[in-house]
């Protein structure tokens, strides 16, 4: 099931907090960073799709 934009943002916030807290090891931080960049890409796609829908509705 595809996650919503809000769910992805919440997951990204958790990742950022874990990295910034210093609780994660270097390897864990790198893995979390990679996961975070993937989530960010997914968010960008969702926003682009929403922008295209709005543009269609306006045009």
Report pLDDT digits (tens) over 6-57. Answer: 999 999 999 999 999 999 999 999 999 999 999 999 999 999 999 999 999 9
Q: What is the mean pLDDT of the chain?
A: 96
pLDDT at 15: 97
Looking at residue 47, what is its pLDDT? Answer: 97
Long-range contacts of 43-47 (CB under 8 A, 24+ apart): 43/5, 43/8, 43/9, 43/12, 46/5, 46/8, 47/5
What confidence score (pLDDT) does residue 1 get? Answer: 84
Q: What is the pTM of this model?
A: 0.85
User: Number of folded domains in the chain?
Assistant: 1
Q: Which domain holds residue 25?
A: 5-58
- Dihedral sign, CA of 14, 17, 22, 28? positive
């Amino acid at each position: 099931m595809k996650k919503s934009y809000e769910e992805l943002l919440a997951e990204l916030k958790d990742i950022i907090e874990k990295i910034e807290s210093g609780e994660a090891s270097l390897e864990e931080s790198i893995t979390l960073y990679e996961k975070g960049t993937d989530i960010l890409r997914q968010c960008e796609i969702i926003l682009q799709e929403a922008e295209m829908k709005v543009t269609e509705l306006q045009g």
